[in-house]
Amino acid sequence: MPNLPNVVVWSIPAFLLLTIIEMISVRLHPDDDHAGYETKDAATSVTMGLGSLFFDFLWKFPVVAIYTAVYELTPLRVPVLWWTVTLMLLAQDFFYYWSHRGHHVIRILWACHVVHHSSRKFNLTTALRQPWTSLTVWPFYVPMIAAGVHPAALAFCSSANLVYQFWIHTERIDKMPRWFEFVFNTPSHHRVHHASQGGYLDRNFGGILIVWDRLFGSFTPETERPVYGLTKNIDTYNPLKVATHEYVAIARDLRAASGWRERAGRVFRGPGWQPAPPTPTTDGEPVPPTPKADGDSVPATVQTDGGKAADEAVVA
pLDDT digit string (tens) for 297-310?
Answer: 333 333 334 445 44
Range with the poorest average pLDDT among 4-13, 39-48, 115-124: 4-13
Taking the model in full, what pTM does it have? 0.86
Q: Out of 12-26, 260-274, 289-303, which region has the weakest mean confidence (pLDDT)?
A: 289-303
Domain locations along the chain: 7-28+35-245
Mean pLDDT of 222-240: 95
Q: Reply yes or no on whether the pLDDT at 288 is more than 90.
A: no
Q: What is the per-residue pLDDT across 22-74, written as a single tens digit (0 to 9) for each?
A: 999 999 988 877 778 999 999 999 999 999 999 999 999 999 999 999 999 99
* Confidence label for 284 from pLDDT (cuts 50, 70 and 90): low
CA 312/CA 148 separation, integer angstroms: 43
The answer to whether the beta carbons of residues 41 and 121 sit under 8 Å apart is yes
DSSP letter at 304?
-
Side-chain-side CA neighbours of residue 131 (13 Å): 21
Helix or strand or coil: residue 195?
A: strand
- Summarize the confidence of residues 100-105 as an average pLDDT: 98
- pLDDT value of residue 118: 98
**pLDDT tops 60 at residue 312:** no
Q: Which of 151-165, 170-184, 297-311 has the lowest mean pLDDT?
A: 297-311
What torsion, rounded to 10 degrees, do the Cα atoms 243, 185, 229, 268 define?
A: -60
